Structure formats: C-alpha cells, structure tokens
Amino acid sequence: LVNILGKDILKADGLMGPGVDPHLYQATESDVKKLQNADVIFYNGLHLEGKMSDLFEEMSKLNIPAYAVTDAINTSKLLAAGEDYGKNFDPHIWSDVRLWKEVVEFVKNKLAALDPANADIYSINAQSYLKELDALQEYINKRILEVPKNKRILITAHDAFAYFGNAYDFTVLGLQGISTETEAGISDVKNLAEFIAQNKVPAIFIETSVQTRHIEALKEAVFSRGFNVKIGGRLFSDSLGDPGEAEGTYTGMIKHNVDTIVDALKQ
C-alpha cells in the first residue's frame, strides 16, 4: 500500500516476505537496523505482530514515526478476538475490503502530513487505488453469489477470516485461534471434524503462512467419520504471494482467495 501511494517518491521495504507468519515473527538484527534508518514505519497493529510491539514502541522513542494502520478503524467496526484473547480485537481486518479502504485513507493522510510537498501525489494515487478497490469489491460481491447462503462455511487453519465472514455472510471456523501461537487441541480437531461430517462441508482450506499438518489431520479425522472433505486450496491469509505474481499484491491476493473459496464450495 505504501509503495502504491508513494510510487516514484518513496520506497517501502517489508520486513516479512511471502509465506511468513506475522504472529510468530521475530525481528532480526538487520530488521532493527532498517527500522532505525526508516523515515516512517507502518505496521498492522492489534497485536498481529505479537513479538514486535516493544520494538515499534522503541522506535517511537527514537522519534521515528511508527503507525499502526488499524488505528484507522473505529473500534465499533472491529471484531472481538475471542475468549482466549481477553479484550483484544481481531487484527485481520484486510479481509474486508471496506476496512482496507479506510486504511488507504489513513496511510495517505500520514504520508501527506510527513511530506506535504508531495501531498497532491499521494492523494491522486490514493484516489485511483480506491477505485481499484471498488472494482475488487464488486467482483467479490458477484462471485460470492455463486455459493448459496447455507453453503457459506469457511474452515481454515487459523482464524484469519472473521472480517471476511462478517462482510460476505460466511460462517468462519478456524482450527487454531486468531493467533497461530495457540496450538489446536485434540478436542478442537474432534469437534470441527464432527461439524464438517455432519454438515457435509465440501472443502477446508490451507493457508500459505501456516503449517498444513493441522488441516491434514482434520481431513483425516473427518474421513474416519465417513465423510471425504476436500482440501479446497491455499489461501493467502496473513501474507502476500511472491512479488511479480498476481497474488503478490493485495487485490490479487483477495481475488485469489475469493476464487478459491467460491470454486471449492459452490458445487
């Protein structure tokens, strides 16, 4: 997003590459150097980068502006993280395009304030990107209709899709909680397997930034209950795809997810 808004003006460097799990990520020494040399730092916040919060605070003390982009969103629109996470909010807001649009405005405003000379350019870039996001939203709205409401059940390795479910009327169930730090227990696998077999949910999904063994164990547990659930494909939950590929961008990643989910659940 920062690279899109600041195209030709600034260079944004991401610390976590494709397939990296932000919940578990620990900054390396070279990351710390990059942060210390940055003009501005943007991060997701709401404890997504669970092991890095202290580091972001340290940077603020060094007078390097560090912004949690989820500050863009009014808490009334945030979803609770669930009973294991106290009063925290679910950090995975990007799976609802409407919320990501608010992040675009937020980042644009921060960049314009830090670099007023280029404020007009940030604004023009934001406007054209928001149009792209509107088109993405329309695409999703259309594709989602291919899955009847009673078939809209999305089961993934960890709970990254609650905002998606909220926006597009899916029941979302994750084997692990909203952070991959919590391990799936045997009873979680059992209960979910029971649910899948009973409701004949056609497909469950792996995620590019989470180990696949839990979902494979779930598939086996469903099979032992006399139902054959498919692995519906790989979803980009907490990480983009490779740069240069369609899934290496936000819009490409969301489109891939929607296509994968709809194709697997519609039959």
Residues that bind Zn ion (CB under 5 A): 160, 238
Q: Which amino acid is at 100?
A: W
What's the rounded Cα separation, in Å, for the pair 221 and 230? 12
With respect to Zn ion, which residue has the nearer C-beta, 21 or 27?
A: 21
Nearer to Zn ion, 96 or 238 (CB): 238
Closest approach, Cβ 176 to Zn ion, in A, equals: 9
Measured distance CA(41)–CA(101) in Å, rounded = 19
If the CB atoms of residues 129 and 205 are measured against Zn ion, the closer one turns out to be 205
Of 89 and 129, nearer to Zn ion (C-beta) is 89
Rounded CA-CA distance 56/61 in Å is 9
Instruction: Tell me how far apart the alpha carbons of residues 209 and 21 are, in angstroms, rounded to a whole number.
Output: 5
Give the nearest distance from C-beta 209 to Zn ion in angstroms. 8
Shortest distance, CB of residue 160 to Zn ion, whole angstroms?
A: 4
Beta-carbon count within 10 A of 47 CB:
21
HSE toward the beta carbon, residue 201, CA cutoff 13 A = 26
CB-side exposure of 24: number of CA atoms within 13 Å?
Answer: 11
Query: Whole-number minimum distance, CB 207 to Zn ion, in Å?
Result: 8
- Least distance in angstroms from the C-beta of 241 to Zn ion: 16
Long-range contacts of 107-113 (CB under 8 A, 24+ apart): 107/1, 107/2, 107/5, 107/42, 107/67, 107/69, 107/72, 108/5, 110/40, 110/42, 110/65, 110/67, 111/2, 111/5, 111/6, 111/10, 111/40
**Of 27 and 160, which has the nearer Cβ to Zn ion?**
160
For the chain, the residue count is 267
In whole angstroms, the minimum distance from the beta carbon of 180 to Zn ion comes to: 6
Cβ neighbours of 56 (radius 10 Å):
18
Nearer to Zn ion, 6 or 45 (CB): 45
